[in-house]
């Protein structure tokens, strides 16, 4: 009985955790110490992901509780002492039909929202902005192909260089900047090995593969900085290539964009000359 009451206590505290899921247990855009839950959502897709996650959690909890109850009934009522002469029953048609049909219904109930979510993630709505992300060993490069001829690198701020308020292992020198409440189409590729572009609060995670372009999208619903990390083991500094996305209002975004066009402009002539200088001499 002591074990049972202990079990009940654990279940009660787990229930408390579930009930308070959200604000207290997870940060917005960044992980928190002792986080128990997904990061808070800041995009419609992540809202759906979190909703589906909790729906599944309740389904799993109900199934586990049901199986546990059946086990307890068997242990208490059908042990050798309580039930010395067991029944020889081997078949029960109604129960066999039930235990076939009920799981099918449960799986169908899971499949419908699951496929709906997959389509929401995969079908990119008409974008307001396109950002191309290139994973490199071991940092990210961002360019905005429809917004100007510029590209910049985003490297992690080393621990010794951290300024107050900057997050260890997550802060970067140049953040990716996007406007709030706009559909951002993200193209990703890898320059050397496979990386994975992941921002938990936006519910996006997509491999950046050399030689091909993958795509995903998000619509940030809150301003702020949202962090993520490379999520594909990509070499020795895999853990040190964070992603930081700063979401700002339209005015601030345009100011940033105008600055970025100057600051990070790609000098086509210089690039061409550099390439010409490194080209192998023609064979005569």
Q: Which residues bind Cu ion (CB under 5 A)?
A: 195, 230, 234
Between residues 46 and 234, which has the closer beta carbon with respect to Cu ion?
234
Nearest in space to 251 (alpha carbons), one of 182, 187, 202: 182
Tokens 């002539």 appear where? Answer: 269
Between residues 179 and 228, which has the closer beta carbon with respect to Cu ion?
228
CB of 197: closest distance to Cu ion in angstroms?
9
CA distance readout (Å), 101 to 55, 68, 95, 96, 97? 20, 20, 10, 9, 6
Nearest in space to 139 (alpha carbons), one of 227, 231, 237, 241: 241
CB 221 within 8 A of CB 43: yes
CB of 273: closest distance to Cu ion in angstroms?
31
Q: Which two tokens stand for residue 12?
A: 């009660």
Between residues 197 and 264, which has the closer beta carbon with respect to Cu ion?
197
CB of 234: closest distance to Cu ion in angstroms?
3
Distance between CA atoms of residues 103 and 138, nearest Å: 46
Q: Which two tokens stand for residue 95?
A: 């129960």
Between residues 153 and 252, which has the closer beta carbon with respect to Cu ion?
153
CB of 266: closest distance to Cu ion in angstroms?
23
Distance between CA atoms of residues 122 and 37, nearest Å: 24
Between residues 152 and 197, which has the closer beta carbon with respect to Cu ion?
197
């Amino acid at each position: 009985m002591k074990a049972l009451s202990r079990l009940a206590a654990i279940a009660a505290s787990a229930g408390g955790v579930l009930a308070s899921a959200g604000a207290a247990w997870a940060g917005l855009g960044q992980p928190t110490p002792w986080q128990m839950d997904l990061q808070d959502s800041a995009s419609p897709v992540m809202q759906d992901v979190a909703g589906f996650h909790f729906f599944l959690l309740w389904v799993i909890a109900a199934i586990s509780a049901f199986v546990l109850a059946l086990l307890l009934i068997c242990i208490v009522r059908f042990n050798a002492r309580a039930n010395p002469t067991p029944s020889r029953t081997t078949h029960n048609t109604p129960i066999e039909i039930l235990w076939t049909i009920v799981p099918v219904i449960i799986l169908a109930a899971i499949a419908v929202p699951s496929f709906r979510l997959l389509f929401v993630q995969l079908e990119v709505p008409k974008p307001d902005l396109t950002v191309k992300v290139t994973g490199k060993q071991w940092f990210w490069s961002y360019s905005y192909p429809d917004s100007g001829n510029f590209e910049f690198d985003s490297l992690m701020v080393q621990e010794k260089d951290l300024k107050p308020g900057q997050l260890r292992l997550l802060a970067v020198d140049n953040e990716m900047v996007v406007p709030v409440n706009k559909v951002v189409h993200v193209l990703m590729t890898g320059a050397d090995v496979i990386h994975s572009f992941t921002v938990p609060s936006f519910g996006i995670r997509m491999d950046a593969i050399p030689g091909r372009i993958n795509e995903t999208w998000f619509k940030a619903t809150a301003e702020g900085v949202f962090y993520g990390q490379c999520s594909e083991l990509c070499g020795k500094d895999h853990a040190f290539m964070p992603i930081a996305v700063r979401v700002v209002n339209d005015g601030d975004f345009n100011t940033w964009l105008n600055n970025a066009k100057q600051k990070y402009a790609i000098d086509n002539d210089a690039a061409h000359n550099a390439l010409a200088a490194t080209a192998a001499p023609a064979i005569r």
